[in-house]
Amino acid sequence: MWVETYVGKQKITSNGRAGEPAYEVILIARAKELDSDAWTEIYQYHYPRLYAYLYHRLGHRQLAEDMAANVFLQAFERIGSFVYRGTPLSAWLFRIARNMAADHFRRGKTTPLPLNDRDVACPESTAEEAVERAMTLEKLNLALRGLTDRQRQVLLLKFVGGLSNADVGTVMGKPEGAIKSLQHRALAALRRLLEVGKGR
């Protein structure tokens, strides 16, 4: 489905695929015009990944759900100042999420990670599969907690958030080269931690 709109004087045409740069420009322009459908589309596409990132970051389902919703409220407040310069909307949203999580920790509100098989429940899965998923998630969570905060963030943004190295750099305020290096160290550290976990 081809979509077209005007952004200022410029007419932009896109293939209407979520995440495609031209489509993002259109979506952002519509969001700035307070188009409810555009906001619904942005929410539906980004909420699950933001939730997953915040879930791993905060270690609390309810908190992650509320904070993910708040990310969109804050994005809505600030969308007027957002200028698309090639950095995808997801990087901007993850940056808001990252800052919110940082504020949460600055206020000293650290919460333990409640491992619960319902958190990763999948409607189609059997009980055994659900248990297995929960165990894998538990293993991953424990290993992630052994990483430094920056190592954990780089892995979460890249592998859970699905961002590119450049976008992870934008979110974390670091150059792409530094992200590659951090990613290498983080994966090596995670490997060691997973190996240790196996031995238990």
Residues 6 or more apart in contact with residue 98 via CB below 8 angstroms: 57, 153, 157, 171, 172
Q: Does 180 bind other proteins (CB under 8 A)?
A: yes
Q: Is 20 in the site for other proteins (CB under 8 A)?
A: no
Dihedrals phi, psi of 162, to nearest 5 degrees: 75, 20
**Which span (87-95, 103-111, 135-143, 146-154) binds other proteins, by CB under 8 A?**
135-143
Residue 23 in the binding site for other proteins (CB under 8 A): no
User: Does residue 81 belong to the site contacting other proteins (CB under 8 A)?
Assistant: no
Q: Does 199 bind other proteins (CB under 8 A)?
A: no
Nearer to other proteins, 137 or 172 (CB): 137
Chain positions 87 to 116 lying near other proteins, rule: CB under 8 A, are none
Q: How many residues in total does the chain contain?
A: 200
Judged by CB under 8 A, does residue 122 bind other proteins?
A: yes
For residue 171, the cross-strand partners are none
SS3 37: helix
Considering only 34, 102, 131, 196, the residue that binds other proteins (CB under 8 A) is: 34
Give the helix/strand (H/E) hosting 138: helix 127-145
Q: Distances in Å between the alpha carbon of 187 and those of 29, 107, 140, 156? A: 38, 29, 12, 11
Angle between helix axes 21-32 and 89-106 (nearest 10 degrees) is: 60
Taking the complex as a whole, the smallest distance from the CB of residue 176 to other proteins amounts, in Å, to: 9
CB 37 within 8 A of CB 26: no
Note the residues at the interface with other proteins (CB under 8 A). Answer: 4-6, 8-9, 11, 30, 33-40, 43-44, 47-48, 51-52, 55-56, 61-62, 64-66, 68-69, 72-73, 76, 119-122, 133-134, 136-137, 140, 155, 159-160, 165, 180-181, 183-184, 187-188, 190-191, 194
